[in-house]
Amino acid sequence: MTVEELTPKDTESHHWEDTIVGVFYSLSAIVCFIPYVVVLKAITTDKELMKLTSYRIIVHLGIRDILLLIVHFISGPLTICQCTLHLYVIKVVGATATSSYVPYALMTLLLAFNRLVQLCFTNFVDTLFSYKRTTLWLIGCHGIGFIFFIILVSPWASMIYFPDLYSWDYDRKASLSWLVQGFAKWIEISVVIVSGIIYVIVVIFIIISRKKFQEINNYAQEKRILIQAAVITIYCTILNVTWHNYSLFLPDTKWAYMGLNVMWIFNGGINPVIYLILNK
């Protein structure tokens, strides 16, 4: 149905749908944003927590999540008005989304690898996760995100918002968007597969050496960190598999795209919720 074929009643109905979805997007982003800021402040002001490599990684995950939540907040008004920003502005906003999620995915792998080394190969902790080495790992993750950002603000690729579909997606008119999407998909799917394998190894190790694991000084803390890291990875896995293969699970409708976008928004709420549940 084209715009010209819509009756006034149809137009009014679509307007209410757009308004409800847009308000929901922005409110959801705010609901996730506020506890995230509280949690990050609590972590960064605790000197003992910031000495732990895992929490340094979680803080950087949080920075990328907050950038994504800002993008999702912006998509609310765009949905209500059924409009997009100036081409270059929307390219920057879309580039921020992709260039935030790709390093986020990489850092979930880094967190999983840290758990593996910390719990199973303690002799290599100082070698692989010293303060300087961890800084390099994090710079590498952010650096890959920066490369995606530069490519997506170029004339050859774009991630833009489609208000009529309630979703962000790659601009098929840009000549290299398909290539950028392919790289992003390869990175994100590979990350969740490897992370999953790592957590299986960690769980098997804990089961085999349960007594030894329970005897470590910070057993309770390590257990909380492991649970938090595993939950983040599980949700990331569900989101990535569904997002990149939605045609296998969902119909080709704007409501399906909306569902995927909502999953992406609530990705920013998983970390603070788990942290608040597991910590006093």
CA atoms of 116 and 135, how far apart (whole Å): 18
CA atoms of 220 and 233, how far apart (whole Å): 20
pTM above threshold 0.85: yes
Q: What is the pLDDT of residue 3?
A: 40
Phi/psi at 161 (nearest 5 deg)? -95, 135
Structure tokens at 51: 């000495």
Per residue, the 3-state secondary structure of 15-47, as one string, reads HHHHHHHHHHHHHHHHHHHHHHHHHHHHHHCCH
For the chain, domain boundaries = 3-278
Q: What is the pLDDT of residue 4?
A: 41
Domain 3-278 has CATH 1.20.1070.10: yes
Q: What is the pLDDT of residue 78?
A: 95
pLDDT (tens, 9 = 90+) of the chain, 280 residues, equals: 334 444 454 556 678 899 999 999 999 999 999 999 999 998 899 888 888 898 999 999 999 999 999 999 999 999 999 988 888 899 999 999 999 999 999 999 999 999 899 888 888 999 999 999 999 999 999 999 999 999 999 999 999 999 999 999 999 889 999 999 999 989 988 998 898 899 888 888 877 777 666 666 666 777 777 888 888 888 888 887 887 777 777 788 889 889 989 999 998 888 888 888 877 6
